[in-house]
Amino acid sequence: MLGLTPYFSQAACLAIQPKEIPTISNALTRTRVELSKENLSALYERDMLSLCDHFLKYLKRNGLVDTPVTKIGVETINGFLQPYKTTATNYMNRRRTLSSLFSRLITKDLIVTNPVQLTGKLKQSAYLNLPYKKQQLREVLEELKQKHDQLYLCCLLVYGSLLRPHQEIRLLKRGSFNEDLTVISLSGDQNKSRRIRSVHIPGYVRDELIKQGVDLLTEDRNIFSRTPSPFNMSYFNTAWSRIKEDLMERGIVSQNHTLYSFRYTAAVNMYLKTKDPYKIQQAFAHSSLRVTLMYLRNLGLVVDSSLEDLPDL
């Protein structure tokens, strides 16, 4: 029995030996590779990868690449985020993305707390997302119709079918529509909500789809590029910025009008028509009614009970 004692002592020592702690560089490099396996939107994945690369370069410049992941503290994070304090929005967006990276290290049991959450916050100035007024909407759409038919169709779909221009509409293929172009069906990986979604197509949008020959395309063709591949992510933004400059000079739109203003306008008009936030939630695929109420209030709508809603005696 005495002869077995050293064996058991060695096994016991191995059992209680702490696991190796990776360096921050190795931990983030592995996390970066695994991001591509997650079901992330193309835009979000791009932002995550970009910030991860910038953080790794910051660590290298400051001789911190071999620092154990558990030793990265608030001082290091603050030093990295400092150049992004040009605006509160810029800083908070980068802080949020970096925090998401470190949250993944927590799920791997590499760290216990998220050091990014211990950094200071900057208050972002709230601004009103400007929807279009009735006449303004007509003027803008008419301008787009004359100057850029693909952007015109995109904006009609944003307004009429409530889809997002870059993450959803830009990627639409003929196969996303039913045979008579009255419904669009999106799988979970084709829309932001990550749920299967079907949206109706108003008559004025269907007419333009037919006018542009979408009904004649094969199912694998993108409705804008007319090839199996969509235009790049910035295609509609670039086209809009060129036309918007002229619209601003003529006093038709302001700086706060964007492609998303068509979606905001749709929300305003739907609420004024239905007075039913629940219908807005369903149509916009919001995760909860609370999100919808915040959305409507951010657009300047008063979503509260009125005198007529109070009970009679």
CATH of the domain at 36: 1.10.150.130
Question: Averaged over 257-277, what is the pLDDT?
Answer: 90
Total domains, the chain = 2
* Best CA proximity match to 242, nearest among 147, 127, 101: 147
Q: What is the mean pLDDT of residues 232-241?
A: 92
- Mean pLDDT, range 210-216, rounded to an integer: 97
Inform me whether the pLDDT recorded for 2 exceeds 60: no
User: Are 88 and 159 found together in one domain?
Assistant: no
Give me the DSSP letters along 44-98: HHHHHHHHHHHHHHHHHHTT-TTSBGGG--HHHHHHHHGGGTTSHHHHHHHHHHH
Q: Is residue 164 part of a domain?
A: yes
Residue 285 lies inside a defined structural domain of this protein: yes
Own/partner long-range contacts of 54-62 (Cβ < 8 Å, ≥24 apart): 54/80, 55/28, 55/80, 55/98, 55/101, 56/25, 56/28, 56/29, 59/24, 59/25, 60/25
Res 140 pLDDT > 90: yes
Give the type of residue at 119.
T
Q: Roughly what angle, to the nearest 10 degrees, separates helices 74-81 and 88-107?
A: 140
Q: Are 285 and 171 within one domain?
A: yes
Q: Looking at the structure, tell me whether residues 114 and 176 fall in a common domain.
A: no
Q: For residues 172 and 102, state if they share a domain.
A: no
Question: In terms of domains, do 102 and 211 share one?
Answer: no
**Where are the extended beta strands (E) located within the chain?**
183-186, 197-200
106 pLDDT exceeds 70? yes
Tell me how crowded residue 160 is: count the other CB atoms within 10 A of its CB: 19
Q: Is residue 245 part of a domain?
A: yes
pLDDT confidence of residue 309: 58
Q: What's the mean per-residue pLDDT of the chain?
A: 86
Handedness of CA 68, 71, 73, 78 (dihedral sign): negative
Same domain (yes/no): 37, 110: yes
pLDDT the model gives residue 198: 87
Position 103 pLDDT exceeds 90: yes
Q: Is residue 260 part of a domain?
A: yes
Say if residue 102 is in the same domain as residue 142. Answer: no
Average pLDDT over residues 283-297: 83
Choose from 30-44, 225-239, 299-313 the range with maximum mean pLDDT.
225-239
Supply the CATH number for residue 165's domain.
1.10.443.10
Average pLDDT over every residue of 236-265: 92
53 plus 185 within the same structural domain: no
Q: Are 108 and 179 within one domain? A: no
Instruction: Give the 3-state secondary structure of residue 42.
Output: helix
Establish if 2 belongs to a structural domain.
no
- 11 pLDDT above the threshold of 60: no
Question: Does 17 score more than 60 pLDDT?
Answer: no
Confidence of residue 129 (pLDDT cuts 50, 70, 90): low
Q: How far is it, in rounded angstroms, from Cα 237 to Cα 251?
A: 20
Whole-angstrom distance, CA of residue 207 vs CA of residue 224: 16
The residue out of 118, 147, 163 marking a domain boundary is: 118
CA-to-CA separations, 101 to 65, 94, 104, 164, in angstroms, rounded: 16, 11, 5, 26
Q: Which residue has the higher pLDDT, 165 or 295?
A: 165
Q: Would you say residue 239 lies in a domain? A: yes
> Which residue carries 């591949």 as its tokens?
229
Q: What is the mean pLDDT of residues 76-96?
A: 90
Choice between 210 and 86, residue whose per-residue pLDDT is larger: 210
Q: At which of 118, 143, 177 does a domain end?
A: 118
Is 178 within a domain?
A: yes
The amino acid that residue 20 corresponds to is E
Range of the domain at 166: 134-298
% of the chain with per-residue pLDDT over 70? 86
Domain-ending residue, one of 84, 118, 152: 118
Per-residue confidence (pLDDT) for residue 89, from 0 to 100: 80
Distance CA 194, CA 10 (A): 51
Q: Is residue 7 part of a domain?
A: no
192 and 252 co-located in one domain: yes
70 and 189 part of one domain = no
Encode 58-71: b = buried (16+ Cβ within 10 Å), e = exposed.
Answer: bbeeeebbebebbe
> Could you tell me if 52 and 166 lie in one domain?
no
pLDDT, one tens digit per residue, over 169-198 is: 999 999 999 999 999 998 765 555 556 788
